[in-house]
Amino acid sequence: RSVSGPMAPLTLYAWLVLPALASAACVARPLRVSRGITSPMVRGMAAREHVTRSSSPFSRLGLDKFRTPRRRRETRAFGMFDNLSDSITNAFSMIGKEEKLTPENIKKPLKQIRRALLEADVSLPVVRRFIANVENKVLTMDVQVSKALNPEQQLVKVVFEELTNLMGAERADLTESLTGPRIVLMAGLQGVGKTTQTGKLALLLKKQKQRVLLASLDVYRPAAMNQLQTLAKRIDVDIMPADPNGEPVKLALDAAKRAQDEGYDCLILDTAGRLQIDEDMIGELKDVKDKVRPTDTLLVVDSMTGQEAAKVVKAFSDAVDLTGAILTKLDGDSRGGAALSVNEVAGKPIKFVGVGEQMDDLDPFYPDRMAQRILGMGDMLTLIEKAESAISDKDAKSFEEKMRDGTFDFNDFKKQFDVVKKMGPLNQISKMIPGMKASDQELTEGEKRVKKFMSLIESMNKKERADPSLFDKGRPGAMKRRMRIAKGAGRTLDEVDELMMTMRAMRRQIGSMMGLRQDPVRFVIPKGSIMYPRFTEDDFASFESKQDYFNIAELVKQEQNEQQTPLISLSRSLSLSLSPRLTAR
């Protein structure tokens, strides 16, 4: 279950989740078919022939069945980074077939990247420094690196590294306390969602097995204390009694004493919202900080304000010496300048990001993972972490046994979608998978289709859920069963047929996954791929040597000998496919 390295070992949890995601994607976007074709079987065959192929790692390795069909030139990061991702990706393609990068041929792509960053509301000084760093690094790149990567990949590598550095290089966690409980002081402007983020942070720490105490110091807004009390009850976290007539400093000291005496791991103090120009309120915040001496002072800022968010962080930091920021609404449709500017302008790291409205929609901020999303590379590590929190060991092991035995049924089908639902909205999860591209509208429609399928499954009896073959056409009573569950769920027979087709597709997919145990190479490099063992000499045209293929084969076998799960090989092959030596035509 350990997670380390750029492509972490995909655990048993991810093994369960990927089929669900692939199926959800298939459900989310019905395959495009030729006009006039009505037979379900023929529709499926026609769809496979008409799906537009892309140059993603999935199609390079013949792994298209693990992703939904998509329109071209669609790159998804967080909602706010969509335009930035598209523009930067298009800039890379401007390199074309150049043999090497020169000051002349990088001008056009760098100009495109510069324009994209400015349109994303990144401050001009930050953009200038970023472009200068990229240009200098590209033109002074190590000779060995230059030989290993083609010009386009050299530029991708440098932009990725500089984006990561721009946002902080490394993950900035909460500061540890050596003498007692960790104390986190929450600050922010009025109306940015500070109290809500306080509750979200408490829930995140609780999931990490920490004992958390909350306290509200907002004596100016009558509903503030009641709001935090409600949130604490909702997430089952202890909270100090509300005292609207108390003094903020005394309330903070009382909370710190209780946290120390009762052995809490963390105390989170929710302060009143204030304005940058309100000297009295800023002075009060300083007093609380001086008396309590928190291990962290975090400023909650709204990412929708763009580069202004970075200026707010700097102003507060100059006044009260912040240790970091929490960036909210990162799932919105603003331009994303805040995430790219805060660390560079204010010199303070982003420690957490809000990615939704639910209480568990607060994630640690990883600069390298965010850079991967911006460049359309996905974020498998965050996906694994979400999977680990959504699936119990017992359920994961049970599902593995069913996969091995080939006894996958409607109960497992429903359980998979329940797991994906726990992990978050499908439009967020899909953005973490490299090569899996679909619009938010398509994924929203997909979630509706999933709900439709769930209602049909809930209309089945226990015997039917455990034995999908009872619905096979030609089986005695199969049509009556279909009509009964359609009526019970308020659906049509066509929708029942759609569920059965999706179920068969999932069982075929799981069967192909289990084929890895007998032939790992042919799982990672399926038949029909140009890297399949039974290829012709012409198939080597895009490789530097035949040894490239055998290197992959040896890696896959070695990983299996280490008793790692099948999807490690899948993820590793995807990362390898990004290198020039292993990039197929």
Q: Give CA–CA dist 579/150, Å, rounded.
A: 9
Angle between helical axes of 410-423 and 393-405 (0-180°, round to 10): 140
DSSP string, 129-173: HHHHHHHHHHHT--HHHHHHS-HHHHHHHHHHHHHHHHTTSS--P
12 contacts 382 by C-beta, under 8 angstroms: no
Q: Does the model's pTM come out above 0.75?
A: no
Task: Dump pLDDT digits (tens) for 382-402.
Answer: 777 777 777 777 777 777 777
Task: Inform me whether the pLDDT recorded for 276 exceeds 70.
Answer: no
Q: Would you state the pLDDT for residue 233? A: 94
- Please report which helix (H) or strand (E) contains residue 176, including its range: none
Q: Would you state the pLDDT for residue 543? A: 44
CA distances from residue 56 to 67, 72, 75 in whole angstroms, order as listed:
10, 10, 11
The band of 513, judged by pLDDT with boundaries at 50, 70 and 90, is low
Q: What is the mean pLDDT of residues 518-529?
A: 39
Q: Give CA–CA dist 195/175, Å, rounded.
A: 21
DSSP state of 11: -
Pinpoint the residues of the chain covered by CATH 1.20.120.140. 79-166
Task: Inform me whether the pLDDT recorded for 184 exceeds 70.
Answer: yes
Q: Would you state the pLDDT for residue 89? A: 80
Task: Inform me whether the pLDDT recorded for 210 exceeds 90.
Answer: yes
Pinpoint the residues of the chain covered by CATH 3.40.50.300. 182-376
The band of 409, judged by pLDDT with boundaries at 50, 70 and 90, is confident
Q: Would you state the pLDDT for residue 441? A: 74
Q: In what order do the strands lie in the sheet with 182-188?
A: 238-239, 212-216, 266-270, 182-188, 296-302, 324-328, 350-354, 362-364
Q: Is 537 helix (H, G, I), strand (E, B) or coil?
A: helix
Q: Would you state the pLDDT for residue 553? A: 52
Q: Which of 6-10, 28-32, 384-388 has the highest mean pLDDT?
A: 384-388
Q: Would you state the CATH architecture of domain 79-166?
A: Up-down Bundle (1.20)
Q: In 179-272, which ranges are continuous DSSP H helix?
A: 194-207, 222-235, 248-261
Q: Would you state the pLDDT for residue 78? A: 53
526-533: long-range contacts (C-beta < 8 A, 24 or more apart)? Answer: 526/61, 526/62, 526/63, 527/62, 528/62, 529/61, 529/62, 529/63, 529/584, 530/62, 530/584, 530/585, 531/61, 531/62, 531/584, 532/62
530 contacts 585 by C-beta, under 8 angstroms: yes
Structure token pair of residue 563: 């008793």
Structure token pair of residue 243: 């005292």
Task: Dump pLDDT digits (tens) for 64-100.
Answer: 333 333 333 333 445 556 677 778 888 888 887 777 8
**182-376: CATH, from 3.40.1160.10, 3.40.50.300, 2.60.40.420, 3.40.50.1100:** 3.40.50.300
Protein fold of 12-41+383-516: 434 Repressor (Amino-terminal Domain) (1.10.260)
Q: Would you state the pLDDT for residue 489? A: 92
The share of the chain scoring above pLDDT 90, in percent, equals 22
More confident: 520 or 484: 484
DSSP string, 178-190: SSS-EEEEEEEBT
The band of 521, judged by pLDDT with boundaries at 50, 70 and 90, is very low
Structure token pair of residue 14: 């991810």
More confident: 160 or 65: 160
DSSP state of 540: G
Q: Which amino acid is at 236?
A: D
Structure token pair of residue 302: 């709204």
Pinpoint the residues of the chain covered by CATH 1.10.260.30. 12-41+383-516
Task: Inform me whether the pLDDT recorded for 255 exceeds 80.
Answer: yes
Q: Give CA–CA dist 579/60, Å, rounded.
A: 12
Q: What is the mean pLDDT of residues 358-381?
A: 81
Q: How many C-beta atoms surround the C-beta of residue 396 within 10 A? A: 20
CA of residue 408 relative to chain centroid, distance: 27
Structure token pair of residue 426: 């499908």
Q: Would you state the pLDDT for residue 183? A: 94
DSSP string, 62-120: T-GGGS----TT---SSGGGHHHHHHHHHHHHTTTT-SS--TTTTHHHHHHHHHHHHHT
Q: How many helices (H) and strands (E) does the chain have?
A: 26, 8
Q: Would you state the pLDDT for residue 318? A: 85
The band of 158, judged by pLDDT with boundaries at 50, 70 and 90, is confident
56 contacts 67 by C-beta, under 8 angstroms: yes
Q: Give CA–CA dist 259/280, Å, rounded.
A: 28
Task: Inform me whether the pLDDT recorded for 186 exceeds 90.
Answer: yes
Q: Do you know the residue count of the chain?
A: 585
Q: Give CA–CA dist 455/490, Å, rounded.
A: 9
Query: What's phi and psi for 230, nearest 5 deg?
Result: -65, -45
13 contacts 391 by C-beta, under 8 angstroms: yes
Match 């302008």 to its residue by tokens: 345
437 contacts 70 by C-beta, under 8 angstroms: yes
- Name which of 45-54, 90-99, 274-283, 285-294 the model is least confident about: 45-54
The band of 148, judged by pLDDT with boundaries at 50, 70 and 90, is low
- Please report which helix (H) or strand (E) contains residue 44, including its range: helix 40-50
Q: Give CA–CA dist 374/581, Å, rounded.
A: 24
Handedness of CA 411, 412, 417, 419 (dihedral sign): positive
Q: Would you state the pLDDT for residue 119? A: 85
Q: To the nearest whole number, what is the mean pLDDT of the chain?
A: 73
Task: Inform me whether the pLDDT recorded for 179 exceeds 80.
Answer: yes
Query: What's phi and psi for 214, nearest 5 deg?
Result: -105, 150
CA distances from residue 160 to 99, 211, 269 in whole angstroms, order as listed:
21, 37, 36
The band of 488, judged by pLDDT with boundaries at 50, 70 and 90, is very high
Task: Choose among 216, 270, 212, 213: nearest CA to 242.
Answer: 216
Q: What is the mean pLDDT of residues 414-423?
A: 78
Q: Would you state the pLDDT for residue 29? A: 43
Q: Would you state the pLDDT for residue 435? A: 59
Q: Are strands 324-328 and 238-239 parallel, antiparallel or unpaired?
A: unpaired
Q: Give CA–CA dist 553/531, Å, rounded.
A: 10
Angle between helical axes of 222-235 and 194-207 (0-180°, round to 10): 20
Q: Which amino acid is at 453?
A: F
